[in-house]
Structure 1
Amino acid sequence: MEGPYLSTVSATIQAAIAPVFLLAGIGAFLNVMVGRLARIVDRARDIEKLHPRSTGPEHERHVWELRIIDQRISVINNAIFLCVASGLAICLVVAALFVARIAGWHLGGWVAAFFIMSMLLLMGGLIYFLIEVRMSLKAIHVREELLELDRKPRRR
């Protein structure tokens, strides 16, 4: 009686390997996104310290950048939420595989639905991540007055 049960569990573990690797990949991606969120928050705190003392164009630039940072925080939070939800859906895939195999239930449709849901959530998270990256590029362009484009470059 112990033999078939062990082979059933072993076969289920083999079937669950691909979703578990996907879960590891989602975890690594979440690590990147949480790191970006931390850097965004650090930048917001730096600007918040400068903001009360700034005046004129510098003040306007701080307000502009704080608005972009506020938007970026919302977008990256959405990306993190969707990727965590994707990871949870993958966990449902693995759990459903084990329940189906051990209980003898036919959950193939549910497993497929959870996997499709996970992929859609991951796609949404990646889209939000791409939007946040594009927003960050908008915020870091060097101002033209700092580039001194009206001056000719020196020859070396």
Structure 2
Amino acid sequence: MNLQFSDIGHMIQLAIAPTFLLSGVATMLMVLINRLARIIDRTRVLEDRLDRDYNDLWHDELDVLYQRSHLINYAITLATACGLMVCLVIAMLFLGDSANISLDKYVAAAFVFGMVALIGCFSYLLREIFIAAAGMRKHRHRRSPRNIAKK
């Protein structure tokens, strides 16, 4: 097998689009990891407070934080699976083109699986955002002047 310079250029062209997708998935992973880190930090603060003094509000907030962390973990898992599938697509494109092997069905299947994983990732992220927003509204409602005056 003798690869020509133009063949290598063609293989690189095939891999460019999935590489941009991989960059987007990496950015998504950074967002998810940052959200998880903030959830973990807040969880540690509340757990320390609960160790000193029990409070139903802190306990309720902890329950919400645990739920959010599970959703973010699922999203991270799916984003990682998507990244893996994109890497497989790139590898199969290079292998198929350089070895003249027909991997079209495998490339398509890996790409579809990656997109399904990315859709799932976004779905879990959106669900986590809804829960976080609902928690903020609930916290704001508890701190409104009318509710503070009632206490």
- TM-score normalised by length of structure 2: 0.90
Does 2:110 align with 1:114?
yes
Segments of structure 2 that go 5 or more residues without pairing to the other structure are: none
User: 1:54: how far off?
Assistant: 2.8
User: 1:8: how far off?
Assistant: 1.4
Q: Over the residues paired in the alignment, what is the CA RMSD in angstroms?
A: 1.7
User: 1:125: how far off?
Assistant: 0.5
How many residue pairs get aligned? The number is 147
* Aligned mates of 1:86, 1:6 — CA distance in 2: 31
Out of 95, 99, 102, the position equivalent to 2:98 is 102
Correspondence 1:48-67 to 2 at 5 A: 48-55=47-54, 59-67=55-63
Q: Which residue of 1 aligns with 2:125?
A: 129
Q: Which residue of 1 aligns with 2:144?
A: 147
1:27-66 CA-to-partner distances (Å, cap 9, x unmatched) read 01110110000000000011111113334xxx11111111
Three-state SS of the structure 2 residue aligned to 1:105 is coil
Does 2:92 align with 1:93?
no
| C-alpha distance 150-119 of structure 1, shift in aligned 2 (>3 A) | closer
Percent identity, aligned pairs only? 37
| C-alpha distance 67-9 of structure 1, shift in aligned 2 (>3 A) | same
* Aligned mates of 1:69, 1:6 — CA distance in 2: 54
Q: Which residue of 1 aligns with 2:22?
A: 23
- What is the identity, as a one-letter code, of the residue corresponding to 2:143? L
* Aligned mates of 1:28, 1:130 — CA distance in 2: 16
Larger Rg belongs to: 1
Out of 66, 74, 79, the position equivalent to 1:70 is 66
- Runs (4 or more) in structure 1 with deviation over 3 Å come to none
* Aligned mates of 1:68, 1:145 — CA distance in 2: 16
1:64-111 CA-to-partner distances (Å, cap 9, x unmatched) read 111111111111000000000000000000000011011110111111
- What is the identity, as a one-letter code, of the residue corresponding to 2:146? L
Does 2:76 align with 1:80?
yes
User: 1:150: how far off?
Assistant: 7.0
